[in-house]
């Protein structure tokens, strides 16, 4: 079980901290909550190593959520709608706003999105 938990982490992290982390896990009672926490932290490290992918996934989930809200509140019956009313305009901006930020991040290539940057 310990080897499987350590294997969840990125290879670079395992090379640096794997042995110490395995020793720590040996001294820890592996409750379901502890196992879930280890898995969650491993996922966070994978996403942190892939910042652009993380932003893409967040933008996608955000847009899907806004679309669900729009359909649920009968503001639209389709995915893309014209902002003909104030509520529709706000939801339209909320749904597609993250994509403008992602486009800026792709074009501008800020340092905080560059892999290996500590900013």
- Report how far Cα 93 is from the mean position of its chain's Cα atoms: 21
Nearest Cα residue to 63 out of 102, 27, 11: 102
Per-residue model confidence as pLDDT tens digits over 85-117? 788 888 888 888 888 877 877 777 666 555 555
- pTM beyond 0.75: the answer is no
If one compares 77 and 117, the residue with the highest pLDDT of the two is 77
In angstroms, rounded to a whole number, what is the distance separating the alpha carbons of residues 70 and 62? 12
Tokens 């982490």 sit on residue = 9
Interval 44-72 mean pLDDT: 82
Residue 59 scores a pLDDT above 70: yes
What does the mean pLDDT of the chain come to? 82
């Amino acid at each position: 079980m310990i080897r499987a938990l350590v294997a969840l982490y990125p290879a670079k992290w395992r090379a640096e901290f794997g042995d110490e982390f395995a020793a720590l896990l040996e001294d820890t009672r592996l409750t379901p909550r502890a196992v879930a926490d280890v898995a969650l932290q491993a996922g966070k490290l994978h996403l942190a190593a892939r910042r652009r992918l993380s932003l893409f996934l967040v933008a996608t989930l955000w847009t899907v959520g806004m679309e669900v809200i729009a359909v649920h509140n009968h503001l639209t019956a389709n995915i893309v709608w014209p902002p003909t009313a104030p509520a529709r305009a706000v939801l339209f901006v909320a749904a597609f706003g993250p994509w403008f930020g992602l486009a800026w991040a792709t074009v501008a290539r800020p340092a905080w999105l560059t892999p290996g940057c500590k900013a």
